[in-house]
């Protein structure tokens, strides 16, 4: 069993699964943080209402962002070519994301330092930018990944990106950005409905219902674009060597309008993933209307997880397709680190991942309960 687990082919698939798990974990946890930030100007109109909303995520947002760091670290260590291309090709987009994310800790720490309404309003907008901008751009990045990114490798495997920032802002990518934004606004509203109190909850439920319906409709619309061939895909046509060296130039890939549906057609049970990606947001909308916050948050988490998972299932075994040189696309079987690296990282992950999950569960258990206006007033300056 151990020999099979440490087989090169198995290690590559396991790390593809772990990368997906980390990205889902980031979307599910830090996703509601970003959603709350994006909702802040709309669900909270007074300073005390904004403090209620902010204090629902204040104690947990730093821990949630660890999933983002783990995801980036996993890409760097397990898929170095993917890291090099995505972080260089999407450099300006990533810069905007990081600049927006930097505003979050500064906003949390500085907002309560002065009671001046103008001062606090500025930091509230910083928190809004720190939530809305990454939510949108992450979706834009996924859209470009599905569409294909203009890059190639030289003969000595040096990656060259041939696009620019404005090329990333195409209609398909912007559509995926809207899916991402609506999805995380729904998730943030579900969190506020469960953790906040008073009028903030009422406004969150109203906006959350619309965001959940928009998420289901936009995600279904994206599926229709794939089904109709408007959003094409890429397919490996040459034999796959799962234990061969990592060389993206050793295969043949073609653009195929139905490629992103091939895995679903080959394994019909996989249709449950996108089906839940539509059904779960609809269930969340019903939860908002019925004022069932626990049910709503679970449905929202499931919806976010299934939407992200759908992308990975559709693209497997391709990680990042090249729109200009399809044969240079990065795949699970030819873009990984060495067998020894993947094996050693898996051992470390098996040790430390349970500790991270246990600590995260303990933190949420300790900090469980609603945040009310009275509790914020009693906390005084110690609250955000």
Which pLDDT score, from 0 to 100, does residue 165 have? 64
**pLDDT of 219 strictly over 80:** yes
Which has more confidence, 380 or 378?
378
End-to-end CA distance of the chain: 51
> Stretch 305-314: mean pLDDT, rounded?
96
Average pLDDT, the chain: 90
Q: In angstroms, rounded to a whole number, what is the distance separating the alpha carbons of residues 158 and 328?
A: 11
Q: In angstroms, rounded to a whole number, what is the distance separating the alpha carbons of residues 179 and 277?
A: 11
User: What letter would DSSP give residue 138?
Assistant: H
User: Is residue 153 classed as helix, strand or coil in its secondary structure?
Assistant: strand
**pLDDT of 108 strictly over 90:** no
Q: In angstroms, rounded to a whole number, what is the distance separating the alpha carbons of residues 371 and 298?
A: 19
Cβ atoms of residues 333 and 317 within 8 Å: yes
- Among 108-112, 180-184, 280-284, whose mean pLDDT is lowest? 108-112
Question: Distances in Å between the alpha carbon of 235 and those of 89, 249, 259, 330?
Answer: 22, 15, 6, 12
> Stretch 96-124: mean pLDDT, rounded?
88
**Two structure tokens written together for 374:** 């009275």
């Amino acid at each position: 069993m151990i020999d099979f687990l440490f087989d090169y082919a198995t290690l590559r698939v396991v790390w593809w699964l772990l990368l997906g798990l980390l990205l889902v974990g980031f979307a599910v946890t830090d996703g509601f943080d970003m959603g709350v930030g994006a909702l802040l100007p709309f669900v909270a109109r007074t300073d005390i209402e904004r403090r209620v909303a902010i204090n629902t995520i204040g104690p947990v947002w730093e821990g949630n962002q660890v999933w983002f760091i783990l995801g980036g670290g996993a890409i760097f260590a397990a898929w170095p070519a993917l890291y090099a291309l995505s972080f260089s090709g999407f450099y300006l987009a990533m810069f905007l994301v990081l600049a927006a994310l930097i505003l979050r800790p500064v906003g949390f720490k500085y907002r309560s330092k002065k009671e001046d309404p103008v001062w606090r309003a500025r930091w509230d907008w910083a928190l809004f930018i720190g939530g809305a901008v990454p939510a949108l751009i992450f979706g834009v990045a996924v859209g470009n990944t599905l569409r294909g990114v203009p890059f190639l490798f030289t003969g000595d495997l040096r990656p060259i990106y041939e696009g620019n920032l404005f090329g990333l802002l195409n209609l398909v990518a912007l559509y995926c950005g809207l899916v991402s934004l609506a999805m995380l606004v729904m998730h943030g509203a579900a969190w506020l409905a469960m953790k906040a109190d008073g009028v903030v909850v009422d406004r969150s439920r109203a906006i959350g219902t619309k965001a959940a319906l928009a998420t289901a409709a936009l995600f279904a619309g994206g599926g229709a674009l794939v089904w109709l061939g408007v959003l094409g895909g890429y397919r490996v046509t040459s034999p796959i060597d799962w234990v061969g060296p990592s060389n993206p130039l050793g295969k043949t890939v073609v653009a195929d309008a139905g490629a992103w549906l091939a895995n679903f057609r080959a394994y019909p049970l996989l249709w449950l993933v996108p089906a839940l990606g539509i059904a779960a947001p609809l269930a969340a909308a019903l939860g908002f209307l019925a004022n069932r916050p626990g049910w709503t948050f679970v449905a929202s988490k499931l919806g976010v997880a299934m939407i992200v998972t759908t992308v990975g299932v559709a693209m497997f075994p391709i990680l990042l397709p090249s729109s200009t040189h399809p044969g240079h696309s990065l795949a699970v079987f030819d873009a990984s680190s060495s067998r020894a690296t993947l094996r050693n990282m898996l051992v470390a992950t098996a040790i430390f991942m349970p500790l991270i999950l246990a600590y995260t569960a303990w933190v949420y258990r300790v900090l469980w309960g609603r945040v009310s206006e009275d509790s914020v007033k009693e906390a005084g300056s110690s609250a955000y």
